[in-house]
Each structure stands twice: as C-alpha cells, then as structure tokens.
Amino acid sequence: MQLDSLLGTFKLDRSRNATIQVYERLRELIVSSVLEPGTILQRSQLVEYFTLSQTPIRDALTRLDDERLVEIFPQHQTRVRGIDLDSARQAHFARLSIELEIVHTLAAKPNKEMEKALLVFTGQQRVCLKAGDLEGFNAADQAFHKKMYAEAGVPDLWAAVRNLSGNLDRLRRLHLPLNNKANSILTQHNDIAKAIGAGDRAAAQDAVRAHLSGTLSQLELLRDKFPSYVQ
C-alpha cells in the first residue's frame, strides 16, 4: 500500500509550527496502528505529502526516534518500530506515580463538581463504544485524564507524560478491543470519579492502580495476537 494512502487527509495549519504538526500526525498514525511495524517512511514521500521542506520532516522523525517509535538508518531509511517494552514500562511507572499523587490531591475532600466533570467524559466514552468508535473512545479517555492533571494544578505534566507514552499507548490501543477492556476502562473511570467525589483517597488510588495496570499484565496475550508489534 502506498504511504500517502495510509497517511490520509491532512491540511497544514500555517499558524502553527510545521515540525510539530508533522510529528503529531505521524505519531497518531503509529500509535493507532495505521502505520504498522516495518512501514518505511520515505522522506521524499513525506516531503511531497506534507508539502514541506526536508527540515521539518527530518526534525519530526528525529522526535519520533527519540520516543522509540521509529528507527532511523542514516542515509538509508526510516521505519516504524515494533513496540518498545522498556519504553512502555517506564512510561507506566511515571504515569502511575504521578496519577496516584493527583487523585490523592483531588480527593483531599469531597469534590462533587470534579466527579460530575469526569463523568461527562465517561458518558462520551459509552456513546463512542456503542457506536464502535474506538478512536472517539480513546480521545474521551485522554480527556478524562487531562482534566485530572489540570484540576490538580499540573497541566504541564500531562504533556510530559504524553511524550513518554507512545509505546504504552500503542499497547493500550491493541488491547482495547480485547477481553472486554473497553468496559473495564469505563468501570475504572467511574470508580475514580466516584472516589474523588466522595473524598476517598484510598479508593481513588486503588482505582488508579487497577486502571493503569491492566495492559502490561496482558503482554503474553498481546504477543500471541500481535507478534509483529510485541516481541
């Protein structure tokens, strides 16, 4: 399949940094498994597709290489990597540590307004799941967590965690349609929101642990189902 058919429709926003837009587009396509492991990312094709010079393309690919999402062979080619499990484990450690502290902060006292705000996102996820829209489901999932970071007063940490989490997110996307994972996420999000609403720090932290531990505990299943992704 031609690379441009995989990349889909894209319109450059001239008011934003071009490198960031290329990076974000390619990263999302890798994380969502549209660009599979082994896919060759030819710079000449990317230059033509994004209608940009070599520089922003090169810089975007370098960022993806830093996140262990692609592998660059100098003067030769760039290709999408399989999932780097060390990267995924480190992202999980960082995210778990941060989010345990976040819910500890948010549940310092009963917070019904925050509970209500978080349950809006779980409602969106239910609608998306019923429609079979896993991309929409995932977007609402990310919005749920981003809201917690913002409410805890650490919105910049959300961006930092996202930059670490490419390989973990790839595992989660593969896991999402399996073993009733999506419904488990809804239950866990509901538990987190309710515990924050009740001001129950211990319950909130227990719910976060359950929520963030599921995918890495299923590596053998994911290896069997997706051997080209999980080595």
Domain ranges of the chain: 3-80, 85-225
Question: What integer pLDDT is reported at residue 174 of this predicted model?
Answer: 94
Question: What integer pLDDT is reported at residue 9 of this predicted model?
Answer: 79
10-residue mean pLDDT profile of the chain (231 residues): values are 72 89 94 94 91 94 96 89 95 96 97 97 96 93 97 96 94 91 95 98 97 90 94 77
CB-based contacts of 2-8 (< 8 A; 24+ apart in sequence): 3/39, 3/40, 3/41, 3/42, 3/45, 3/46, 3/49, 4/45, 4/48, 4/49, 6/34, 6/35, 6/39, 7/49, 8/34
Question: What integer pLDDT is reported at residue 2 of this predicted model?
Answer: 62
Question: What integer pLDDT is reported at residue 10 of this predicted model?
Answer: 83
Question: What integer pLDDT is reported at residue 11 of this predicted model?
Answer: 84
CATH architecture under which domain 3-80 falls: Orthogonal Bundle (1.10)
Question: What integer pLDDT is reported at residue 74 of this predicted model?
Answer: 81
CATH of domain 85-225: 1.20.120.530
Question: What integer pLDDT is reported at residue 196 of this predicted model?
Answer: 98
